[in-house]
Amino acid sequence: IRQQRKQDIKDVGDLKNLDALRVELLGKKGPITQALRGMRDLPADQRPKFGQFANTVRDELQGAIEARRDELKKDRLNKQLANEKIDVTLPGKPVAQGQPHVIQQIIDQIEDLFIGMGYQVLTGPEVEEDKYNFEMMNLPKDHPARDMQDTFYITKDILMRTQTSPMQARTLEKHDFSKGPLKMISPGVVYRRDTDDPTHSHQFHQVEGIVIDKHITMADLKGTLELIAHELFGNRFDIRLRPSYFPFTEPSVEADITCFNCGGKGCAVCKYTGWIEVLGAGMVHPNVLEMAGVDSEVYGGFAFGLGPDRFAMLKYGVDDIRNFYLNDVRFLTQFSKKG
Ligand code: PHE
């Protein structure tokens, strides 16, 4: 029986059953306890021997149980370790990688170009004062040219900026010309009260640029615009200036770029002109300089405002500006730099 019990202990497969067996063998109702209890019925001279024997059996069984318990615990640990083993040679799950928005990619490219030429990159408030958005840009309160830009007003004097041009006034006001010329670009979002359609969005981007120093000419403006065209699209793209009107520049121009679709030959996209309009620019109006406290007899220069949305549409053949603002990843991931 003793041997059989020891074998039983070795055969137990898990810790729970081992514990049940321990209770069965060594518990209050177990055979050993019973035997020791029955000892008082034995003749006195046999009691010590019997007691000794029962104790030995109990110790042996207890030892066997403990040994088995250690074994089972070790097994359990080994199994757990085997389960949790990591195969470091398995290929990982690919992590989806984000990327800058296509408009931001264009802005980044423009910023890199201008930083390389020593321009500062500054950003301004989207909720702007009427003073900076219009008045200091030579557009007094009742000026008819305000109609060119339908505006979201917050109050009578505060509005969502309709252009990044207020950054001209803001930087002119602060610039210390004794430390050198002003060369600045300012990218950002602007707002107009337009009804959204394929070519209009009530929110879009602009990059403003301004250079003020002594002896700046329109040739400097044209050369700078040409650089943008070459950098963003390639050397076969030319710039053409057409006379235009903006209240804050005089003379004012609209700049066209060689048509992407036909390379300048003429097609439906460019209405058979070979050119596509991409930005407004001009020589900064003396009124703008004077209102910002800059002596227009000594200093002058050019400014331009271009639309990255339009650039992106032309560059990638996107025919609806609203795509840029819908955040549809199927659209946006097409412009991943890797792809
Ligand atoms: N702010 C003008 C616009 O939004 C563009 C512009 C900027 C024109 C700077 C001239 C000089 O239409």
pLDDT tens for each residue of 196-251: 999 899 999 999 999 999 999 999 999 999 999 999 889 999 999 999 999 999 99
Confidence of residue 339 (pLDDT cuts 50, 70, 90): very low
Q: 151 near 130, Cβ under 8 Å?
A: no
Closest ligand 1 atom to residue 280 Cα is 8
| E strand segments, the chain | 120-121, 127-129, 158-160, 182-191, 203-213, 239-246, 249-258, 275-284, 300-306
Q: What is the mean pLDDT of the chain?
A: 93
Q: Kindly state if the Cβ of 303 falls inside 6 Å of ligand 1.
A: yes
Give the pLDDT band of residue 269 (cuts 50, 70, 90). Answer: confident
Name the more confident of 155 and 260: 155
Cα(149)–Cα(139) distance, integer angstroms: 11
The answer to whether 250 is annotated as binding is yes
Please state, in angstroms and rounded to a whole number, the distance separating the CA atoms of residues 303 and 325. Answer: 27
What would the mean pLDDT of 124-151 be, rounded to a whole number?
A: 93
The pLDDT, as a whole number, for residue 117 is 96
Q: What is the mean pLDDT of residues 131-160?
A: 93
Q: Quote the percentage of the chain above a pLDDT of 70.
A: 99
Q: How many A from CA of 28 to the centre of ligand 1?
A: 98
Nearest one of 212, 218, 200 to 255, comparing CA atoms: 218
Nearest to 239 by CA among 264, 214, 205, 217: 264
Q: What is the mean pLDDT of residues 303-325?
A: 94
Q: Is the pLDDT of residue 295 over 90?
A: yes
Written as one string, the DSSP assignment of 269-312 is: TTTTSSEEEEEEEEEEPHHHHHHTT--TTT-EEEEEEE-HHHHH
| Ligand 1: centre distance to CA 180 (Å) | 24
120/65 Cα distance (integer angstroms): 81
At 244 the pLDDT is 97
Answer for the pair 248, 212: CB distance below 8 angstroms, yes or no. no
| Ligand 1 binding pocket includes 119 (Cβ within 6 Å) | no
CA of 280 to the centre of ligand 1 (A): 5
Residues 16-29 have a mean pLDDT of 89
282 touches ligand 1 (CB under 6 Å): yes
Question: How far is the centre of ligand 1, averaged over its atoms, from the C-alpha of 7 (Å)?
Answer: 95
Residues contacting residue 265 through CB under 8 Å, at least 6 positions apart: 259, 274
Q: How many residues does the chain have?
A: 339
What pLDDT does 1 receive? Answer: 73
Query: pLDDT at residue 253 above 80?
Result: yes
- Range 23-42 average pLDDT: 87
- pLDDT above 90 as % of the chain: 69
Q: How far apart are CA 332 and CA 338, in angstroms?
A: 13
Distance CA 16, CA 14 (A): 6
Res 260 pLDDT > 90: no
Does residue 336 or residue 84 have the better pLDDT?
84
